[in-house]
């Protein structure tokens, strides 16, 4: 792409979903895909797909659809996925370890190059080949390597201090997994993933779908499940 196109945030969040589908199409030998098929595989209707892609691509062919390879390349260029993006992660607990070990980031040009933690028992070790370093080295490494993305997987009480360190060192985007609303300058983007909110949403949906007369109270449900397991 020769220029940066400004698009709505919801569209921006759907584009990586389309890209993932297109990568799978390439792996399975699919050469062309219609907006309807792309929408079906992505979970969106074909009108939404066309509207989203019209922001960056006008190469659909009547009767054939989109050429998979070209559209995938277009999305990769637009989203900056061809430029290897280095990030650092703070919080070498179970969630942090899961993110560091996730192999799928490579398809999106994303690499976690270093991990930081305040626990002296963890520092000095490695996590999936990445060194775990003490927090006092975090700011210096961000500056020296020009890191622009930081990931936070620490408890809520530590998250703001970690964010402050990242921002002061030059990080421009934060992926936050701590259950806390971070206060950062307006030019710094924060993407928060509150796992408790997601779980609560699912729990509420299950409760709403409960059959008439079914006890959907969480404690009762747990007790009932435990009793059934005992009888197995």
Q: pLDDT by residue for the chain (232 residues), tens digit each? A: 444 567 888 898 899 899 999 999 998 999 999 999 999 999 999 899 999 998 887 777 777 889 999 999 899 888 877 666 899 999 999 999 999 999 988 877 789 999 999 999 999 999 999 999 999 999 999 999 999 999 999 999 999 999 999 999 999 999 999 999 999 999 999 999 988 888 888 888 888 877 565 555 555 555 565 566 566 6
Closest to 140 measured CA to CA, from 183, 97, 115, 169: 169
What is the CB neighbour count within 10 angstroms for residue 57? Answer: 17
Structure tokens at 57: 């691509």
- The Cα 118–Cα 165 span in angstroms is 13
pTM of the model: 0.67
């Amino acid at each position: 792409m020769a220029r940066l196109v400004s698009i709505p945030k919801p569209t921006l969040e759907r584009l990586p979903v389309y890209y993932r589908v297109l990568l799978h199409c390439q792996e399975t030998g699919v050469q062309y895909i219609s907006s309807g098929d792309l929408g079906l595989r992505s979970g969106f209707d074909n009108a939404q797909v066309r509207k989203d892609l019209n922001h960056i691509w006008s190469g659909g062919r009547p009767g054939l659809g989109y050429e998979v390879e070209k559209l995938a390349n277009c999305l990769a260029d637009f989203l900056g996925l061809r430029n290897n993006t280095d990030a650092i992660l703070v919080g070498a607990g179970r969630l942090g370890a899961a993110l560091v070990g996730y192999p799928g980031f490579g398809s999106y040009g994303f690499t976690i190059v270093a991990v930081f933690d305040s626990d002296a028992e963890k520092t000095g070790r490695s996590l999936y080949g990445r060194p775990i370093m003490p927090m006092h080295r975090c700011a210096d490494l961000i500056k020296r390597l020009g890191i622009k993305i930081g990931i936070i997987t620490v408890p809520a009480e530590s998250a703001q201090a970690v964010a402050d360190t990242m921002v002061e060192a030059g990080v421009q985007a934060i992926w936050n997994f701590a259950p806390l609303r971070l206060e950062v300058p307006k030019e710094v983007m924060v993407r928060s993933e509150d796992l408790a909110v997601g779980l609560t949403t699912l729990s509420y949906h299950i409760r709403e779908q409960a059959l008439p007369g079914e006890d959907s109270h969480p404690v009762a449900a747990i007790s009932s499940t435990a009793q059934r397991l005992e009888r197995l």
